[in-house]
């Protein structure tokens, strides 16, 4: 089957800059994807976008270019519950990748054990209406109770404004939770406004980890000035700084390569690395964010 990329969907940045910020040894990119290639790993019929092909070779080349040590691949909606492209990449990583899968409620325990042995450590629940048609809570609860005995967690992706409606459901789930992209705050609101305060309180009251990722999705001020001055996504900075300051032991970072569904600009992944010291301002915060926290969560056997 031939797949045609969604119109005006930008490809990933072709020649990412070499970061000025030197990532510490052991850095984990905890949020990235592989897409296709469609000829080998067809995209899901129920998908709401068709990405460009973005395979494991390009992902691992970016990993090495940026100075990253390990990846956590996250199943994206364009592949539905067919995790084969991600499993292929994990298998090829020589132990340097883990995965977060999408599964259906009828999955068996044996199938879950097989996924665990293939490097999967959690499942993803997606609530963005532009990405999925439904997220039936009874089915998600069934999945949550099936994965809890494996010690997995649940990665949740939702719009900040929807937390009020979703919070009780999240709090009742029987596993740790990892929030994608800071719960997508509205960066036009003050960082101490009611919505983000609700998010911080939710994080404080529950076993919740937060990815301080995707400023490029959240920012209204946009990428660095064309003159090369480093002013990347400055309106998203207070949100990342606040989460890191309040929860230094439960924050994670990721590139979100190949950055699906971006239409007005595509971030230079090298500058996304240079964005890190703007939100994690001390070496201790940086090491926890980039190495200690993701290693404890995804490679606990490697924690000294
Ligand atoms: O890649 C991301 O994390 C963000 C997006 C896409 C998905 O998460 C997905 O398709 O599963 C998005 O915001 O469009």
**Model confidence over 69-82: pLDDT tens digits?**
999 999 999 999 99
pLDDT value of position 232: 82
Q: Cα–Cα distance between 87 and 102 in angstroms, integer?
A: 12
Residue 244 near residue 200 (C-beta atoms within 8 A): no
pLDDT value of position 221: 87
Tokens of 30: 């905890």
pLDDT value of position 111: 98
Is the ipTM beyond the 0.95 threshold?
Answer: yes
Q: Kindly report the average pLDDT of the chain as a whole number.
A: 96
Query: Which residues have C-beta atoms less than 6 Å from ligand 1?
Result: 76-78, 126, 131, 157, 180, 217, 256, 260-261
Burial class (CB in 10 A: 0-12, 13-18, 19+), 33: buried
Please provide residue 70's backbone torsions phi and psi, each rounded to the nearest 5 degrees.
-140, 160
Task: Find how far residue 64's CA is from the centre of its chain.
Answer: 19
Confidence of residue 304 (pLDDT cuts 50, 70, 90): confident
Residue of 126, 131, 213, 253 to test ligand 1 pocket, by largest number of atoms within 8 Å of CB:
131
Residue 302 DSSP one-character state? G
Helix (H), strand (E) at residue 127: none
Give which of 246, 252, 243 is closest to 287, Cα–Cα: 252
pLDDT value of position 227: 43
Q: Cα–Cα distance between 26 and 237 in angstroms, integer?
A: 24
Atom of ligand 1 nearest to the CA of 214: 3
Residue 59 DSSP one-character state? H
pLDDT tens-place string over residues 208-234: 999 999 999 999 988 876 545 556 899
pLDDT tens-place string over residues 172-207: 999 999 999 999 999 999 999 999 999 999 999 999
Burial class (CB in 10 A: 0-12, 13-18, 19+), 255: buried
pLDDT value of position 2: 86
Q: What percentage of the chain carries pLDDT values higher than 90? A: 92
274 is catalytic: no
Q: Given 29, 256, 268, 269, which residue is catalytic?
A: 256
Global pTM value: 0.97
Query: What mean pLDDT is predicted for residues 134-162?
Result: 97
Helix (H, G, I), strand (E, B) or coil at 246: helix
Tokens of 296: 């404890």
Q: From the CA of 260, how far away is ligand 1's center (Å)?
A: 6
- pLDDT higher than 90, residue 124: yes
Torsion angle in degrees (nearest 10) through CA of 262, 265, 268, 272: -70
Q: At what angle do helices 109-117 and 137-147 cross, to 10 degrees?
A: 60
pLDDT value of position 228: 54
Q: From the CA of 192, how far away is ligand 1's center (Å)?
A: 26
Q: Which residues contact 145 (CB under 8 A, 6 or more apart)?
A: 174
pLDDT tens-place string over residues 228-261: 555 689 999 999 999 999 999 999 999 999 999 9
Give which of 188, 99, 85, 169 is closest to 127, Cα–Cα: 169
Q: From the CA of 126, how far away is ligand 1's center (Å)?
A: 9
């Amino acid at each position: 089957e031939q797949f045609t990329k969604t119109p005006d969907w930008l490809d990933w940045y072709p020649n990412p800059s070499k970061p000025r910020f030197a990532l510490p040894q052991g850095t984990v990119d905890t949020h990235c994807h592989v897409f296709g290639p469609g000829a080998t790993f067809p995209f899901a019929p129920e998908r709401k976008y068709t990405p460009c092909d973005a395979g494991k070779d390009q992902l691992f080349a970016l990993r090495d270019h940026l100075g990253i040590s390990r990846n956590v691949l996250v199943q994206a909606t364009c592949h539905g519950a067919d995790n084969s492209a991600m499993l292929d990449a994990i298998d090829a990583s020589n132990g340097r990748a883990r995965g977060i899968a999408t599964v259906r409620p009828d999955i068996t325990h044996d199938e879950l054990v097989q996924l665990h042995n293939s490097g999967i450590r959690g499942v993803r629940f997606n609530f963005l209406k532009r990405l999925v048609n439904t997220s039936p809570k009874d089915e998600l609860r069934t999945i949550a109770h099936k994965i809890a005995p494996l010690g997995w967690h649940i990665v949740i992706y939702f719009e900040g404004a929807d937390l009020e409606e979703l919070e009780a459901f999240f709090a009742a789930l029987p596993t740790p939770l990892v929030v994608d992209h800071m719960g997508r705050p509205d960066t036009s609101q003050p960082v101490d406004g009611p919505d983000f305060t609700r998010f911080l309180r939710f994080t404080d009251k529950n076993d919740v980890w937060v990815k301080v990722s995707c400023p490029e999705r959240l920012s209204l001020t946009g990428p660095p000035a064309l003159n090369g001055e480093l002013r990347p996504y400055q309106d998203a900075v207070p949100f990342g700084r606040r989460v890191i300051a309040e929860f230094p032991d439960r924050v994670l970072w990721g590139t979100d390569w190949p950055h699906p569904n971006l239409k007005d600009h595509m971030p230079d992944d090298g500058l996304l690395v240079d964005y890190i010291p703007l939100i994690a301002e001390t070496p201790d915060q940086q090491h926890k964010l980039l190495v200690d926290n993701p290693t404890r969560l995804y490679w606990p056997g490697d924690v000294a």
